[in-house]
Each structure stands twice: as structure tokens, then as C-alpha cells.
Chains A and B, each alone.
Chain A
């Protein structure tokens, strides 16, 4: 568990951020550029010292009124926006830089990291000979090998082009699945956050607007996320059946079962799904004669009108309205024609349900930039 509270003057506004993050999984610090999220992360690392700060990580105080543990004594790893590999060292020496300075027995082994990040082939090379995505993978491995109890990532994808991003995201997901240490992940890209985060800390102008499980924060009507031009809900579920004939999987979520394209792995596999608000239409009855596969009973929890004659409808799956949260966006006209009301039980038709993460086996076999094919094997 990470308990953080920082206060201080920051350029044109005051930073006053306080939140707790769970001791496992990925917690995203999300907000617009300049909202202070990087400052918070740097303060957690001890790279910055805000005078009024309190930070307790897994019961150990890293900063309070009197104490300030210097960064090199904090059991954390930090991944910067740019890979920042040491240019005078080989990839191997970069990877083991922190490991060699860590006295405690290694919980995360070199072979494991090489495997997880697919960097075995790069070992003898020089940082200049690597692509942006490869460099960032090495930087992540280097941070992990310093045996952190907390991994801090400051927009690790934002300096990369589209191809490198697609190259590296599957690795981040593998990390997420394989690691037990908590990750604090700073981002201003909601797509990244939806894909990776379990917990969301929403920041705005130096303050924490909300913090909690990602599905709740995304669907919270009091928060600005639901007013994004293209809101979406993320839902975690478990594979309960697969149908190889049609290439479909059944995924149980709270309050229903969704049919999702793709064979998503063995029964029992956890998957995160994403449903765009514009892909949901509402009706009073189960649809007949339709190509839509997903029609789920849901209760209307609330509705807000938007400026462009649309209505954002918050739904909870299940007849009891206790299931996973969804957000639908329908036109004002159809809302009025159907005469829908808050509290009413309806049928939500889902035109598309996508997997947030691609299937696990899709970890890249080669560089998508197409410059060099670099198969990696474990």
C-alpha cells in the first residue's frame, strides 16, 4: 500500500495531492499535461523534495516532516519518458547497473526479465544501436532488476512513435500479469490507462479529483471522464467458454455474460473488455432478427444530457442493477421517444465488445517497424 500526500507551489498553481494506491496492480496517475502528475511521481521517487510531503510505502516512511530518504536508498525503480540508458555502457551493463548495487537477494532474476521483455538478443549491443521501443524495454528491465518494491513509470510510451508503442504495450501487459510489485503509471493517454490500469487516480490542476477502481472512476458521472467525446467502460471478466468454430468466447462479467470475438484462452482466464458508449443502443425488449450478439439486461442508473443533443446514460448490468457499470450514448430524440427513465430495467444491445488487451500470444514475434526482423525466444 502506498500512502502519498504532497503539498507545494508548482509554477502557476498549488500542488495539493493526496491519495493511497493498493500494494499491487497498476495504479494510473491520469490527467492533462501540467496537472502535476509527474511532480507527484518524482516526489515519490525522491528526485524532488516538496517541503510538505508524506509518503509511506509498504509501511516504510520515505518522507515525512523530518525524514527524507534519498532516492538511492528507496526501494523503487523508475522508468523515465525517454529511456535514458547510460550511453557509455553496453546493454548488459545498463541492465545490471542497479542489480549490482542491490545487496538484498534478487527476487526478480536477469533471465526472467530478459524473457519477459524479449531483450536477450540485444545484450552485447550499444544503446545507440537500438530502436526507441527496444531502448525503453531495456530501461524497464534495468529498473526491475534493481529489485524495487514499487515501480514508477513516467509516461514511458509518450516519447515513442505508434509502431514502437504497439511493440511495447504487450510487454507491459505481460509485466502486469507476471509481477507482484505495485506500479504507479503516469499517463495522459486514456487508451493506455484503460488498457493497463487497475486503479485510477484522476488529477486536475495539482489536485486529486478521484481515486478508485478504474471501472468506477471511468463511469462516475461526477467526473469529467464520462464527458470525453468518446467515453468507454472497461469491464473485467472471466472466460467461461470458447467456440473455435465461430472464433468466439463467452466472458462472464458482473451481472451478465458477453460474447467476444477471438479465442481468449483457457476457461478461467481473466480478461479486460472495453465497450464504447456509442456502440450501445437501448431497448425495452430482447432484440429478435438481429446480427447483434450481445443483448444484456441492465438498469438505468442515471442520465445526463450533453451539449450536442445526446444523452449519456449510465447503466448497471443485471436485472438487479448491481453488476458492472456501462456508459451508453444515445440521441436525445430516441431517449424521449422511448420515454426511458432512471431506475428502469432495459436491454442494452452491444454492437461491439473489444478486448482491451490483445490475446496474450500476440506478444510481438518481430519488430513491427519492419526494419529488421528480430525473433526472440525464451
Chain B
């Protein structure tokens, strides 16, 4: 580490990898989570409660439990590996899948709440105005649920950056591939590099605060425009 520089190359690499993982995970989460949240909000069947419970599992499960099962599912002897022809454990793709599953409830719940708060009326109105279900979803439901979708995206992003147990279990700590911030900080602490740990930990603390504050302010604006 060159004298006076705040971050060395390894730190920059781990920050970049973490941001890349968080961004890709957030995009996948929105693409998967929004239709799922819609279905959970609109369906009246008993099935949806079962699905909702499965989606919510990561909230209560220790990350190591989830990571353990994911490691097995993505490992060399799993059916998934046979189908794909390659294993996903200790790869970036595997990390994305693990992060999506781990952060899913944090994205689905706010979006589902937003869809539920909207009620049936806006979709009924749209239907009486010649708007088909898909058109109404994109032109009425999504814009109305925007604050919830925004909250979900921020929570998913921040939660992915902060995860530790799952990524350690399924990704290990391969620099540039799976070694994300939280794992790096753990390494620094284990090897008694307290200064470096301080820089990364402090940076994350500051960034998390800014993200959450920004989220609250933007949400207030989005809601304010409606009332």
C-alpha cells in the first residue's frame, strides 16, 4: 500500500466487485420480485401464503443455513450442476443467485405492500377505460407502486452489500470473483489489519447512512406528490 493512499488496489477491487454484485442483484430482484409481489398482492388462493412464507424464510434463517443449502445445490454433485454442465459454487453467478434469494423478502415485501395499499379500484377503473390487464399493470399499477418499488430496490441493494454469511458459504473469498467487502473486512480483522478494516467499515457505515437517508427523503417526496 503506497504511503498516504486511502485505498490500495485490493480494496478498490473488492469495492468494485461488491457494487457490481449489488447492482446486478438489485436488477434481478426487481425483475423477479415485482411480478411475484403483484401475484402475492392480487391472488386470493391459499397457495400464495405458502409461497409468501418461503420467500420470507431468509429473514429468520441464519445465513449459514441458507448458504449451506445453496452450497450443496450449486456444488459439484448437485442435479443443478449436472443440468448446467458446470458448478455455480465459488463463482460470481452463484453469488448473484444466492444474493437474490437472500434479499428477496426485503424487495418483495415493500412492493407487495404498495400493491395492496393501492386496492382493487385503480385496476377496475383502468379496465372500464379499455385498458387490458398488462397495459393497466404498466400504466397504472407500477406508477402507483413506485415508492414501494423504490424502497424495495434500495433495501435489496443495501442488503446485498451488507450480506456476509451466505457469500462466505457459497463464494468463499476469491479476490476479484467472490471476495466482497464484508468478507474483506473479516479478513482484515482476522489478520489484525485494523487500519484497513476501519477504512472499509467506516466507509460502509457512512454510505449506508446516506443511502437510507436519501431513500427516506425521496420516498417522502414521492408520497408528498400524491397527497
Contact = CB atoms under 8 A, between A and B. Distances in A.
B134 to A, nearest CB: 10
A76 to B, nearest CB: 7
Contacts of A87: 144, 226
B122 interface: yes
Interface in A99-146: 101-102, 128, 142-143, 146
A156 to B, nearest CB: 13
B44 interface: no
Interface string A57-84: 0000000000000111100111010101
Given A87-B144, A88-B144, A101-B131, A80 B125 contact: yes
Contacts of A80: 121, 124-125
A98 interface: yes
A47 B128 contact: yes
Given A101-B131, A102-B130, A47 B124 contact: yes
Contacts of A86: 122, 125, 140, 144
A85 to B, nearest CB: 8
Contacts of B127: 46-47, 70-72
Contacts of B132: 70, 72
A158 to B, nearest CB: 16
B135 interface: yes
Contacts of A71: 124, 127-128
B129 interface: yes
Contacts of B143: 88
Task: Report, as a range, how many residues of chain B touch the other chain.
Answer: 20 to 34
A97 interface: yes
B143 to A, nearest CB: 4
Contact of A78 (B128, B133, B140): B128
Interface string B114-149: 000000011011111111110110001001101000
A193 interface: no
Nearest to B142: A88
A325 interface: no
B133 to A, nearest CB: 8
Contacts of B133: 72
Contacts of B121: 80, 82, 84
- Pick the most buried of B132, B133, B135, B136: most chain A CB atoms within 10 A of its CB: B132
Contacts of B227: 128
Contacts of A128: 226-227
Nearest to B121: A84
B122 A84 contact: yes
Contacts of A28: none
Contacts of A77: 128-129
A40 interface: no
B125 A146 contact: no
Nearest to B130: A101
Contacts of B146: 88
- Pick the most buried of A47, A77, A102: most chain B CB atoms within 10 A of its CB: A47
B111 to A, nearest CB: 16
A271 B69 CA distance: 79
A146 B129 contact: yes
Interface in A13-68: 45-47
A47 B133 CA distance: 12
A133 to B, nearest CB: 19
A84 B125 contact: yes
B131 A72 contact: yes
Nearest to A85: B125
Contacts of A97: 126, 129, 131
Nearest to B143: A88
B129 A142 contact: yes
A71 B143 CA distance: 22
A313 to B, nearest CB: 45
A97 B144 CA distance: 15
Nearest to B120: A47
- Pick the most buried of B122, B124, B133, B140: most chain A CB atoms within 10 A of its CB: B124
A360 to B, nearest CB: 30
A101 B135 contact: yes
- Pick the most buried of A71, A77, A78: most chain B CB atoms within 10 A of its CB: A71
Contact of A88 (B125, B131, B136, B226): B226
For the complex of A and B, 10 pairs with smallest distance between CB atoms: A98-B129, A78-B128, A101-B130, A71-B127, A88-B143, A72-B127, A87-B226, A84-B125, A72-B132, A146-B129
15 contacts: A45-B128, A46-B127, A47-B127, A70-B127, A70-B132, A72-B126, A72-B128, A72-B132, A77-B129, A78-B125, A78-B128, A80-B121, A97-B129, A101-B130, A128-B226
Interface of A: 45-47, 70-73, 76-78, 80, 82, 84, 86-88, 97-98, 101-102, 128, 142-143, 146
Given A78-B124, A84-B121, 10 more contacts: A47-B128, A70-B127, A72-B126, A72-B128, A73-B130, A86-B122, A86-B125, A98-B131, A101-B131, A101-B135
